[in-house]
């Protein structure tokens, strides 16, 4: 039987890069002292950067739902530089990427036994020395790398 790890807070940081339908995303998830995992990916045929930001949050939530099955935390904090994506996930339209992200959020809240979820805006491209801005800059850099990788695959 796996040991359950109790964290005071689980924090998700995300960012996306979008250009003409092609996008990349990155996320960084931390919990407890120095425990973390991250991921990235890319895709095609999106209509807006807003959708790419939603997908970044959704992919982080889905990863946390799968990988975090033995984590328990009363707090979940989601940091993003996209206010519109965070708002859309909290009030999703039926059949949208935001609805899929909301469903992933509900699964995470259930599995991790989250009591409080907070969406927090991170001002992008500040390059300050705070941990939150450092991680946002990392997500920004990696999401751009993934978008460029997707563009090469797509022949752009």
Q: Which is more confident, 9 or 133?
A: 9
Distance between CA 32 and CA 152 in Å, rounded? Answer: 38
A 10 A CB-CB count for 9 gives: 15
The pTM of this model reads 0.92
pLDDT per residue as tens digits for the range 68-82 = 878 899 999 999 999
Distance between CA 25 and CA 148 in Å, rounded? Answer: 11
Burial class of residue 20, CB neighbours in 10 A (0-12, 13-18, 19+): exposed
Distance between CA 12 and CA 60 in Å, rounded? Answer: 7
- Asked whether residue 123 carries a pLDDT value surpassing 90, the answer given is no
Give the strand order in the sheet containing 116-121: 35-43, 22-31, 10-19, 75-80, 116-121
What's the CATH code, domain 5-153? 3.30.420.10
- The answer to which of 3-17, 85-99, 102-116, 127-141 has the lowest mean pLDDT is 127-141
Distance between CA 31 and CA 29 in Å, rounded? Answer: 7
* Contacts for 41 with CB less than 8 Å, ≥ 6 apart: 24, 25, 59, 146
């Amino acid at each position: 039987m796996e040991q359950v790890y109790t964290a005071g807070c689980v924090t998700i940081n995300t960012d996306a890069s979008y250009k003409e339908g092609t996008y990349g995303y990155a996320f960084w998830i931390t919990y407890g002292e120095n425990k973390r995992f991250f991921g990235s990916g890319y895709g095609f045929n999106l209509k807006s950067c807003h959708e790419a930001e939603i997908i970044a949050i959704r992919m982080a939530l889905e990863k946390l739902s799968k990988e975090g099955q033995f984590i328990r935390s009363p707090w979940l904090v989601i940091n993003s530089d996209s206010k519109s994506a965070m708002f859309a996930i909290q009030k999703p339209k039926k059949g949208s990427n935001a609805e899929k992200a909301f469903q992933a959020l509900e699964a995470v809240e259930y599995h991790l036994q989250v009591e409080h979820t907070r969406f927090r805006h991170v001002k992008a491209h500040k390059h300050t020395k705070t941990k939150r801005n450092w991680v946002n800059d990392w997500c920004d850099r990696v999401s751009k790398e993934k978008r460029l990788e997707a563009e090469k695959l797509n022949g752009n």
